[in-house]
């Protein structure tokens, strides 16, 4: 692998690690803050379930990333495989963030009906925004790596 591709691989790995770490941190913040935030019990339960899902996804990605790095170091994985695996990690994190949509909408409606519910909405929407930004950076780094890889012929 050329030095440019190695640098792109390191950048993609670092971006995915940053996103997974951000997801872990935001999930922890939500799990600590939501129990005391003013909102209905049903919405609180949904938001806490969402936060647990974020924490689970970040843990799975962190594990997969460590496994990939070990395989790359032992030369058991190649860069082309790494692109596919990094893309799968991006998809795992995107699915966890996408799950936030319904809860954000429900919390927004609750906050519009009663401003006391606004802090819970703000907690979740700020987490979603930060995670979308980190995820965008991770996806861009993975796509840059994929674009730099030679195309792999497929059997037809």
Q: What is the pLDDT of residues 3-45, one digit of tens each?
A: 888 899 999 999 999 999 999 999 999 999 999 998 889 999 9
Residue 153 covered by a domain? no
Give the CATH number for residue 37.
1.20.120
> Distance (Å, rounded) from C-alpha 54 to C-alpha 85?
19
Containing structural domain, residue 85: 3-148
Q: Is the pLDDT higher at 81 or at 78? A: 81
Residue 2 pLDDT > 90, yes or no? Answer: no
Q: Please choose, from the candidates 49, 84, 91, the residue with its C-alpha nearest in 3D space to the C-alpha of residue 68.
A: 84
Determine the pLDDT at residue 122.
Answer: 93
Residue 55 covered by a domain? yes
Q: Summarize pLDDT for 79-137 with one digit per residue, the tens.
A: 778 999 999 999 999 999 999 999 999 999 999 999 989 999 999 999 999 999 999 99
Domains of the chain: total: 1
Q: Check if the beta carbon of residue 117 is closer than 8 Å to that of residue 124.
A: no
> Distance (Å, rounded) from C-alpha 37 to C-alpha 32?
10
111 CB contacts (<8 Å, ≥6 apart)? Answer: 117, 118, 120, 121
Determine the pLDDT at residue 151.
Answer: 60
Residue 86 covered by a domain? yes
pTM here is: 0.88
């Amino acid at each position: 692998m050329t030095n440019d591709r190695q640098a792109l691989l390191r950048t993609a790995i670092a971006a995915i690690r940053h996103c997974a770490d951000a997801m872990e941190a935001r999930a922890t913040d939500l799990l600590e803050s939501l129990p005391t935030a003013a909102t209905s019990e049903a919405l609180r339960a949904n938001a806490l379930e969402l936060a647990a899902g974020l924490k689970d996804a970040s843990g799975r990605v962190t594990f997969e990333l460590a496994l990939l790095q070990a395989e790359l170091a032992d030369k058991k994985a190649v860069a082309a495989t790494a692109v596919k695996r990094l893309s799968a990690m991006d998809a795992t994190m995107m699915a966890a963030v996408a799950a936030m949509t319904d809860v954000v909408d429900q919390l927004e409606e609750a906050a519009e009906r009663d401003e006391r519910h606004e802090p819970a909405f703000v907690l979740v929407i700020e987490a979603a925004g930060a995670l979308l930004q980190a995820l965008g950076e991770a996806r861009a780094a993975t796509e840059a790596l994929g674009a730099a890889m030679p195309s792999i012929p497929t059997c037809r």
